[in-house]
Structure 1
């Protein structure tokens, strides 16, 4: 019996286990969806939009601009009273009331006031006012250009407004770029781009720990003892199990990456860097899983302690929230576990556009964790296999 045969037997046994497949595939995807939906939209203001019953083309253009603004998430309302109720219930950050006579006043060159309603105690409302004001100001600039052209060159208001739109589209816009001096982003992107990488880190490790129960069960049923009597060297069994768990960790990682990219449009950054990070993290999980299989005496112990330990380490390492939000002492404590270094590496790839060279430091630390865990796991499992059934 070769190490490859041991690997094949372990993979076959695990892939036939429906419970294992649930935790490898369905549960991570469900958690990714829940967290992705929860954290998405934090960069947008919730705006209630009250339009006139019969809006003209000028009012409709303003409404479309508000609906298409990247920083606004609009919801239409029929009456101001309904929008006010939603605002008081904290369902909205602000309410925009488009005037009924907007078209008439705009064509006549009269001043038009667009009301924005906010709660006095709501901090988000004042930010929403700024975003709405930017859209309204852009719309007003086109109207002023149309009136100026009508005054200077004649023509109808609609003709000049169309010319103003065309000139706006043809001219190169002035872009405003914000940059933090001597600073870097410490946060993963929002939505699924946040939840998917962190759940990859969390679940690959948890499933590897839980998978140690299979090694414990194999030990207890005497499969290893019969293999050693064949005779098969203990190092062959250890190598075969290690390769099997590494393959499972890589397989789960690739599933999460594929689902994230295809279903949730997650960009995983530089392919070479992402591949190296996935491979090293799979080794970390492999070492933890085989070590759990060597140390615990019963599968029940693995199932009771493994997931709880994995979740605790994931919380400490920043899988649930960015470590930049916690105190310095807790951030330092978080980097005592490998999860924090993996999340830091994903942050570099996804938030800063980093490449392989940018995460070499994180990869080196993770590789040290992997070497330590795999070495301890190999020694502990070999000891279990050669020490006799009572160990």
Structure 2
């Protein structure tokens, strides 16, 4: 029996285990989706739109611009009173009142005022006004261009508006890029982009520890002992099991990355750096899982201790809150576990637009953790298999 055969057998056994699949696939996916739905729009302003009773094409275009604007999450209300109530309940950051007669006023060349309501005690409302004002200003510039075109060509306002739209689509947009010189963020991006990398770190490690229960059960049922009697070298079994659990950790990481990117638009940064980081973290988790399978005597012990240990190390390593906000001594203690180095690397990739060279220090630290865990785990499991086989 080769190591590859051991890997195939282990993968087949795990994939047939419904309990293992629940913890590896269904539970992470369910939590990811729940958190994603909950925090989605966390970095958007909530805007209530109150259109006039009769909305013409010009007013309709303004409403469409507000609805499609990035950074704004809009909801339309039929009555101004309902929108004001939602604003008082802090369900909205601002309310936009589209005035009646907007189309007629624009065609007649009269100024139009778009009223924006905010709560004076809320800071988000005044920031939302800036975003709304940008959309309204863009719309007003288009209308001014239409008026200018109509005056020049002697046509109607609607003809000028068509010309203005065509010129706007044909011209190359001017992009504004802001950059803070020597600026760095110690925090992951807000919203779902914050929770997804930390969930990857947490789930892969916890599920790797839980995978140790399958190793304990295989030991207890004598499968390894019969394999050693074949005879099969203990190192072959150890290498095959390690490869199998490494593949499972990588597959779970790819699942989390795919859901975050496809369903919630999470950007994972430089592809090469992210791939290396995911692979290195999978090695760390695999080492921890193999070590748990070698040290514990019953699967119940693994299930009882593994999640608690995984969550505790995750909290210490900054998966629950940024280590930048904790005291210096706790930040130093947090870097005694691999989770902190993984979160630091994700922070560099996602908040500082880093690449592979920017996370070499974190990768080296994770490689040291992985090497130590895999070495100790391999020796412990090999010793355990030899002892069980001779019993």
- Normalising by structure 2, we get a TM-score of 0.89
- Relative to structure 1, the CA distance from residue 128 to residue 296 in structure 2 (aligned partners, 3 Å threshold; closer, same or farther) is same
Q: Measure the CA separation in 1 of the matches of 2:75 and 2:43.
A: 16
TM-fit CA distance, 1:167: 3.7
Unaligned runs of 5+ in 1: none
Q: CA deviation at 1:186?
A: 4.0
Deviations 1:53-96 (A, max 9, x none): 11122211211221121121111100101111111121111111
| Residues 137-159 of structure 1: CA deviation (Å, up to 9, x unaligned) | 22223333444555566443333
Tell me which residue corresponds to 1:208: 208
CA distance in 1, matches of 2:293, 2:127: 53
Deviation at 1:243, TM superposition (A): 2.3
Q: Distance in 1 between matches of 2:352 and 2:203?
A: 24
Equivalent residue, structure 2, for 1:132: 132
Structure 1 pair 171–275 and aligned structure 2 pair: CA distance change class (3 A): closer
* Corresponding position of 2:177: 177
Q: What is the CA–CA distance in structure 1 between the aligned matches of 2:243 and 2:148, rounded to whole Å?
A: 75
2:122 aligns with 122
Aligned positions of 1:155-170 closer than 5 A: 155-170=155-170
Measure, in 2, the Cα distance between the counterparts of 1:175 and 1:47. Answer: 25
Partner of 1:55: 55
Question: How far off is 1:134 after superposition?
Answer: 1.6
Q: Is the 8 A contact 1:44 1:73 kept in 2?
A: yes
- The answer to whether the Cα contact below 8 Å between 2:228 and 2:389 also exists between their aligned partners in 1 is no
Q: Could you tell me which residue of structure 2 aligns to residue 276 of structure 1?
A: 276
Aligned with 2:35: secondary structure? helix
Check conservation: 1:270, 1:354, Cα contact below 8 A. yes
Structure 2 residue 308 is matched with structure 1 residue 295:
no
Could you tell me which residue of structure 2 aligns to residue 144 of structure 1?
A: 144
Distance 1:231 1:185, change over 3 A: same
Q: Distance in 2 between matches of 1:230 and 1:72?
A: 66
Q: Within 5 Å, give how 1:326-337 maps onto structure 2.
A: 326-337=326-337
Q: List alignment gaps of at least 5 residues for structure 2.
A: none
Q: Distance in 2 between matches of 1:261 and 1:126?
A: 31
CA drift of 1:246 comes to: 1.7
Equivalent residue, structure 1, for 2:347:
347
Do 1:36 and 1:194's aligned partners in 2 also have CA atoms closer than 8 Å? Answer: no
What is the aligned-residue RMSD (CA, Å)? Answer: 2.7
